[in-house]
Structure 1
Amino acid sequence: MEYDEVVLGRRSIRGYKPDPVPRALIEEILALAMRAPSSMNSQPWNFYVVTGEPLARIRAGNTERMLAGVPQSREFRTGPAFAGAHRERQVAVAKQLFGAMGIAREDAERRQDWVMRGFRQFDAPVCVIVTYDRALDGSDDSPFDCGAVTNALVNAAWSRGLGCVINSQGIMQSPVVREHAGIAADQVIMKAIALGWPDETFPANAVVSERKRVDEAATFVGFDG
């Protein structure tokens, strides 16, 4: 695909085919993603790519602990709940997704099942866990750089016919993730990326979130007109 096709066509995928993703293809995608810029070429990122039985154990552990009321233990800080315009955008995309899936507001069972999909990594065949070196913890540059490589990763995957959704639900129970993904103690778990072949029959996959306009986000200084 052309670059514009990738950026304009990519969307978050929340329903996947069960088909496996070849390791060689994932390595190719990671190699492309790691061309992302980083502060002073620090390249703080690492990736734990999980599939099969280890991923099934992470899903089961996440789900069981969340349903049991075990407090979340996400390692990268979450900050306060969204408010104002940010909350409005969060609610708007939720309405789009629930509308596409036909989940009524009063349908508590299906709404709960939707939440659990996140803790199951959306039943994708692969989960990529993004970590950064603990020696850099406290630096704002390192999470910024990990955001850059994650953006590059999901676009590279899309260009090869794969879908992704970046999420935090799959890493909320960090002891489970650490145990079954074998994450080293010198790494901070930052984000998870569900990855696989999109199921085009899954209604939520057609949802395209609304975006701010350039004139809402950008301030031009020193330009004529």
Structure 2
Amino acid sequence: MFEAIKIYQDSTIDIERVKKRLVDFGYNPVSLVNERGDFAFRGNILDIYPATYDEPIRIEFFGNKVDSIFTFDINTGKIVDYMTILVVLPIKKHILDRFKGSAVYLGRGSDISNFTEVVPGDYVVHIKHGIGRFLGVRRLKTDNGYEKHLVIEYADNDKLYVSFNKIHMVQKYIGFSNLPPKLHKLGSKRWQMLKRRVNKGVETLAS
């Protein structure tokens, strides 16, 4: 299993434990984050620049409760995109070098947990595109040669190919019903509207 720190919107966490785990994961405590591998804690704010993210992440707390999670522009400090879950992988033992076969390890479970196996046919959630069905792993030709990608099926049989360096954007779907979820449509506004409602606490993400 692969270790990961997972932090959810509206969850209550042990901040000191998270800071210790970040150090164990190879992250550097600094006053302000400047590059991947940095983290900084001040007041009610924890900034982390994960190795697999394009922008640093800011977590705002109310006490020990996670009030908001969002990516921000490192130069301007402006919010880029809100999130409902953050997954931080170790720097010392990078997960992307250890994927094998068609099984992929994606996050689920408690605030700080191990990764669990996701197999073809499982439902997953992409942060930007919503609920889809994981079909497996496919090698695609890129500017850097052939690289592995996750293949996710959406409504109307549309396919989304997610490179392994973007795998932090995909999570296993956890529903509150025995019925299978409805696949979202790529490019639709439904998922973005639902995310905004979740962030405002109007409704819970569920099928």
User: Higher relative contact order at CA 8 Å, sep ≥6: structure 1 or structure 2?
Assistant: 1
| TM-score between the two structures when normalised by the length of structure 1 | 0.25
Kindly indicate which of the two structures has a greater share of residues assigned to strand. 2
Kindly indicate which of the two structures has a greater share of residues assigned to helix. 1
- Is the radius of gyration larger for structure 1 or structure 2? 1
